[in-house]
Amino acid sequence: MSIFEYNGSAVVAMVGKNCFAIASDRRLGVQLQTIATDFQRISKIHDHLFIGLSGVATDVQTLYQRLVFRHKLYQLREERDMKPETFACLVSAILYEKRFGPYLCQPVIAGLGEDDKPFICTMDSIGAKELAKDFVVSGTASESLYGACEAMYKPDLEADELFETISQALLSSVDRDCLSGWGGHVYVVTPNEIKERILKGRMD
Amino acid sequence: MESDHVMMMRTTASFRTSANSFYKKSKATSFVSLPSSLLDPYIGGFFEVSLKVQMGDSQYSFSLTTFSPSGKLVQIEHALTAVGSGQTSLGIKASNGVVIATEKKLPSILVDEASVQKIQNLTPNIGVVYSGMGPDFRVLVRKSRKQAEQYLRLYKEPIPVTQLVRETATVMQEFTQSGGVRPFGVSLLVAGYDDKGPQLYQVDPSGSYFSWKASAMGKNVSNAKTFLEKRYTEDMELDDAIHTAILTLKEGFEGEISSKNIEIGKIGADKVFRVLTPAEIDDYLAEVE
């Protein structure tokens, strides 16, 4: 079993019309045993920037702490929030610093950039960025997620429709993956508000 | 400087007279703000004090910028004097850009003036000019360029002017609080245009920096500043600012001003910092006449 499958995870982000959604499962396991059903994989960096981390849970937490630290210092020095593109470059650089002893996580970054244009990207554990215009996925359920998103995604969805689409994609994909599941955690972000919702799916 | 020497001598001499035998037995450990070579003429005559300095065994690894009793850092004062005797340079922030200019007086007519460039780019949208010691300026430009590129590499975003100025100022401050180094003998005028609009900063040898609407440094600073105070208006445009800059330089200029003995750099809303060619300077000079 690969180390990336040790804790189990599923993270997905989608682009809508002047909004984005980012969702993750809630299971934390140690191989086949479920330890927690409320593990937080998605974290807010600032009001228009979220990062979801899949992979080994300890690295998920540590990397998040490091990124929040860097962003807070940036905010204090530059007196402004980081743009999502800039943040993605920062994450990529931090991951590559540990090229030969990497953080075992794959981040999914989603944010609203200039003029409230949604931005999403994912990268591998050593910082190879992959920008996308529609959706990005990561985690043990990534293959199912690719299939589900490809089938269900439509461009320019409004916030509520986007929520429905991403939730269906997430839940149907984690149902096919024994290491992720136990519900979902969805954030839908528009220029004016952040809607956080918990999904109840197959609790197994 | 001489008074400092005398002060230190008196202090150590008083130790000597009050604790003679003590000094002969043990090695004195003390912070002395003088290079020991200056003490050499005194050592044979007055006392045998072995200076064991805190930072390593090198005789020169102490900080030259230690406080004087009046609370000043004398080395920085001297650095500012070095700046004040350098060639005049000035900068003006217009509503749609920034202009910086300097005298370019070369030591001899044999010097190839095309090879001398006092105004330099730090990034495509930030330029800098100095008053003071040219070689120190070169070192700072090199360090600043590197810092700007590192920022770009990390964030894939051009460095904001304020951040670059702050990091350059930090470097200059480090040289006032380290062992074995002296402060930089330059003051910089940094001109840039970023998302916050046109900006003009002055950075001093002490590491302090200020944002200016218009400023001057070097030989003719008081006249130039008075002239700028009279001439500066908030809604000045870039071309007006260039004319004002030329007139200000002309105020204290010894000899005939021409495109060969001044240098002008400008940045406009296009966010590209550029040094003007001699032909362009000639055009502006003609307009000013």
pLDDT digits (tens, 9 = 90+) for A20-57: 999 999 999 999 999 999 999 999 999 999 999 999 99
Q: B71 CB contacts (<8 Å, ≥6 apart)?
A: none
Look at residue B254 in the predicted model and tell me its pLDDT. 87
Q: What is the ipTM of this complex?
A: 0.88
Q: For chain A, what is the total number of helices (H) and then of strands (E)? A: 4, 12
Any B CB within 8 A of A200 CB: no
- CB-CB under 8 Å, A86 with B153: no
Helix (H, G, I), strand (E, B) or coil at A60: helix
| Contact residues, chain B, for A86 at CB < 8 Å | 155-157
| Among B154, B156, B160, beta carbon nearest to A78 | B160
How far out from the chain centre does Cα B209 lie? 11
Residues shown for chain A? 204
User: For residues B34, B39, B42 and B48, what is the CA-based torsion angle, rounded to 10 degrees?
Assistant: 100
Whose structure tokens read 């899949």?
Answer: A54
* Residue of chain B nearest A89, judged by CA positions: B155
Q: Is the dihedral of CA B42, B44, B47, B50 positive or negative?
A: positive
Confirm or reject contact between B156 and chain A (CB < 8 A). Answer: yes
d(C-alpha B199, C-alpha B98), whole Å: 7
Judged by CB atoms within 8 Å, which residues 159-188 of B form the interface with A?
160, 162-163, 166
Query: Where does the pLDDT of residue A152 fall: very low under 50, low under 70, confident under 90, or very high at 90 and above?
Result: very high
Q: Per-residue pLDDT averaged across A98-117, rounded?
A: 96
Partner A contacted by B157 (CB < 8 A): yes
What's the predicted TM-score (pTM) here? 0.82
Q: Tell me how long chain B is.
A: 289
- Compute the distance between CA of residue B176 and CA of residue B165 in angstroms, rounded to an integer: 17
For residue B154, give the nearest of A78, A83, A89 by CB distance: A89
- Facing residues of A120 across strands? A110, A132
Residues of chain B scoring pLDDT < 50:
1-56
Q: Report d(CA B53, CA B31) in Å as an integer.
A: 6
Contact of B249 with B257, CB cutoff 8 Å: yes
Question: Whole-angstrom Cα distance, residue B144 to residue B147?
Answer: 5
Cβ–Cβ gap B157/A78 under 8 Å: no
The answer to whether residue A85 neighbours chain B at the CB level (below 8 Å) is yes
pLDDT given at position B114: 82
Render pLDDT for B190-226 as a digit per residue (tens, 0 to 9).
Answer: 999 999 999 999 999 999 999 999 999 999 899 999 9
Q: Are B282 and B132 in contact (CB under 8 A)?
A: no
Nearest-by-CA chain B residue for A74? B163
Beta strand segments in B12-96, E? 89-94
Least Cα separation, residue B153 to chain A (angstroms): 8
Between CA B263 and CA B49 the distance in angstroms is 53
